Amino acid sequence: MKHALISIVIPCYNEETNISAVYAALEKVTGKIRRYDFEYVYVDNGSLDATRDEIRKLVKKDSRIRGIFLSRNFGPESSNQAGFDYAKGDALIWYACDMQEPADVLPEFLRKWEEGFDKVVGVYTKSEDPWFMKILRTSFYNVMKVIANVDIPVNNSGFGLYSRKVVDAMKSLPEKYRFQRGIRSWVGFSTAMVTYHRHERKFGRSSYSLLSYFQHAERSVFGFSYLPLDMLIYSGLLLVICSFVFIVGYTSFFFLFGNPIKGAVTILVAIVFFGGINLLALSIIGKYIQVIVEETKARPTYIVETMIGT
């Protein structure tokens, strides 16, 4: 009897020390699950170390492993998308190569899928990340929960299970400026949450800098929220009303008591204040225009250099 196929997508960038360790950790769990077949899809996002060599070794060792090598580093969302595009399974599990998510949660994901849920989202209740990163991540998700036009769960990293219906729905979206967790929420479908303890990284070092985190957060804000534009509209309206009241009040005061305000400092402050607001408004509008430009270019989100394995 043919079993359903589960694809485990493992995006990686400069993770030579983790490739074999990830495989071993996943095999320890999946080897006990006999009711499904598994495939492992490693997506290398232009690594500069020996990551590709390690993947090639595994492909020779296990025919269920495939390697997808991108022609350069296209950013983390691109490797995620490539994994979604090339996974063959009836369901897909996204698993980061840094091994901060516990592999032993996978059976619970599968049980939730068997219960009829199309998406199973991993949400960590405890994290061993540095305190600054924990505060930064939690703050980001709490802000997004308020401003986003979709419900993005707090404290999730993309770790979870996606049914074939969800995978096909996410693949069908043509946008290039992608944020996987936002798209996952946008497509809908029945969703279950599974909590877990997020570990610290044991091998290697993260390729993410603080700037990278802010750039990734920027994708989510400008991809799934119009609040910055709404704030500009309402702030502009409020400033117009206040300016009108000030002009009327100042004019009345001038005719009754003479010029009450003297000196260039007041004028300078007003110029700096309104100039700063205009610059901020143009910057926000410019960011949305950047998203539009990226979409109209219609470039692919990634280019595959080569694939190995079946």
Q: For residues 74 and 302, is the Cβ–Cβ distance under 8 A?
A: yes
Mean pLDDT per block of 10 residues along the chain (310 residues) reads: 82 88 89 88 88 88 89 83 88 87 89 90 77 72 70 77 89 78 82 83 64 66 69 72 71 67 61 71 76 75 83
Query: How confident is the model at residue 41, as a pLDDT?
Result: 92
* Per-residue model confidence (pLDDT) at position 208: 61
pLDDT recorded at residue 142? 72
The whole-number pLDDT of residue 205 equals 66
Instruction: Assess contact for 175 and 98: CB atoms under 8 A.
Output: no
pTM of this structure:
0.74
Question: In residues, how long is the chain?
Answer: 310
Q: Say what the pLDDT of residue 7 is.
A: 92
CA-CA distance, 293 to 172, in Å (whole number)? 20
d(CA 33, CA 189) in angstroms, rounded, equals 26
In the block, which residue shows the tokens 């998700």? 141
Cβ contact 14:99 at 8 Å: no
